[in-house]
Amino acid sequence: MTAAASFTASGARLGTGLRGFFGWWGAGLAQWLPARVRAVLAARGDRLLLVPRGDELLLQRWHEGQVKELTALPLPLPADRDALDGVLRGPLAELPRWLLLPAAQGLRRPLTLPAATRERLRAVLGFEIERQTPFAADAVLFDGRLLGERPDGSLQAELVVVPRQRFDAVGARLGGLGARLAGIDLADAEGRALGVNLLAPAQRFRRADPWRWLNLGLGVVALLALLLGLHQLLNNRRAAAAELKATIAQRQTQAQGISAARQRVVDSVEGETFLRALRNDKPASVEVMEALSQRIPDGTYLEKLAIEGNQLTLVGLSNQAAALVGQLEGAPQWTSAALSGALQADPRSRLDRFTMIAQLAKTNAAAAPAPAAAPTGGTASDAR
């Protein structure tokens, strides 16, 4: 355990930065777990303290700042085997083993350090050994702990060192147990652990986790399941996008067909409206023929009657060809009646051949009441 997070009864520090955040977050989540689950998780933080005292090695269980006496073994321990295998059973045998040295075995020096040294406290304290103690850096076991933060933002820390010779003397009496230590701590004046680990990180014993490979396998399975789920989700999104695209294309085709049909209907209605307006803009052919039958005098025969656009053309024979213009004037169905070209005598019938044109009148003009014209004896049967 490092100085950034001590386990002493005086209070634990979560530290700052990412490690402090995860520590605070984990502690908050643990409060929502059942009491039994919390007890199991808390037991994983317990430690087996090895306290040399005279010719005995006291075994104590540390749990959340409380120490419970277990048993005592005579020193020195055998070097060819683990002396605790025949003493500890069950969960106690799995606890990490910490050597707790008496306070007289070590040296403590208070220091004031900049705030930037919080995350690398052990490395910084390694440079302070030769200045703060009479020992060389390679001749001691050392660690440090944070005591607090000063008002100016600097850190109040403590350097803890134990001469390597003193530890070797104690380790020699531990026999084979000395190679399986997870940490070395130093007791204070009251016999409580300071919460430091004097062992270098590379020398700390770590028990193999029996669930490691199972957890790793479960993690790989969970990762594969997540990737598979994401892949399936992506495929679903692609399928939905393709289906939506096809639906949009189908609706677009339908919309284009509807738009074309609508345009045809509009064109048809507009054409019909135009033709109706064009037809209503001039008198009907029946009205024109009826008016001609009333105004053409006897002795006049029509060979051709043509209506092209707004022009009325009459071709025929008459014994009164020169007077036809006067006869046809004043009709509401046409205006500007006039002979086109010269009159030509027909030697067979002894009548004059004429060509007459007139402009058809507008409907509103045709709708006006026409003055009564006295027929000159011509009938509808004469106009042909």
Instruction: Give the Å distances, CA to CA, from 29 to 25, 33, 38, 47, 177.
Output: 6, 7, 10, 23, 36
Across the range 68-72, mean pLDDT stands at: 88
Ranges of each domain in the chain: 17-207, 285-367
Cβ(181)–Cβ(96) below 8 Å: no
Q: Angle at CA 143, nearest 5°, toward 139 and 148? A: 145
Tell me if domain 17-207 and domain 285-367 are identical in fold: no
Residue with tokens 């009646």: 337
Q: Which of 28-37, 123-132, 158-167, 274-283 has the lowest mean pLDDT?
A: 28-37
Using CB atoms within 10 A of its CB, is residue 5 exposed (0-12), middle (13-18) or buried (19+)? middle
**CATH 3.30.1490 matches 285-367:** no
pTM: 0.50
Rounded Cα gap, residues 152 and 146, in angstroms: 16
Across the range 303-324, mean pLDDT stands at: 85
The alpha carbon torsion through 181, 182, 187, 191 (nearest 10 deg) reads: -80
Across the range 52-59, mean pLDDT stands at: 89
Name the pLDDT band for 2 (thresholds 50, 70, 90). very low
Closest CA to 153 of 117, 111, 113, 115: 115
Rounded Cα gap, residues 286 and 281, in angstroms: 15
pLDDT single digits (tens) 221-240: 999 999 999 999 999 999 99
Quote the mean pLDDT of the chain: 81
Cβ(141)–Cβ(162) below 8 Å: yes
Q: Which two tokens stand for residue 252?
A: 């677009």
Rounded Cα gap, residues 278 and 168, in angstroms: 124
pLDDT value for 30: 67
Rounded Cα gap, residues 179 and 17, in angstroms: 34
Cβ(280)–Cβ(363) below 8 Å: yes
Rounded Cα gap, residues 156 and 140, in angstroms: 22
Highest mean pLDDT among 80-89, 244-253, 368-377: 244-253
Amino acid at 364: N
Spatial strand order of the sheet with 140-149 comes to 107-113, 155-163, 140-149
Closest CA to 313 of 321, 324, 305: 305
Cβ(359)–Cβ(268) below 8 Å: no
* More confident site: 320 or 279: 320
Name the pLDDT band for 66 (thresholds 50, 70, 90). confident
Is the previous residue joined to 76 through a cis bond, with omega within 30 degrees of 0?
yes
Q: Which two tokens stand for residue 378?
A: 């011509």
The residues, ordered by sequence, that sit 6+ positions from 187 with a Cβ below 8 Å of its Cβ are 51, 100, 101, 102, 103, 193, 194
pLDDT value for 98: 93
Spatial strand order of the sheet with 56-63 comes to 66-74, 56-63, 47-53, 97-101, 183-186
DSSP per-residue string spanning 42-93: HHTT-EEEEEEETTEEEEEEEETTEEEEEEEEESSPPSSS-TTTTT--GGGG
CATH architecture classification, 17-207: 2-Layer Sandwich (3.30)
Name the pLDDT band for 83 (thresholds 50, 70, 90). confident
pLDDT value for 276: 77
Using CB atoms within 10 A of its CB, is residue 11 exposed (0-12), middle (13-18) or buried (19+)? exposed
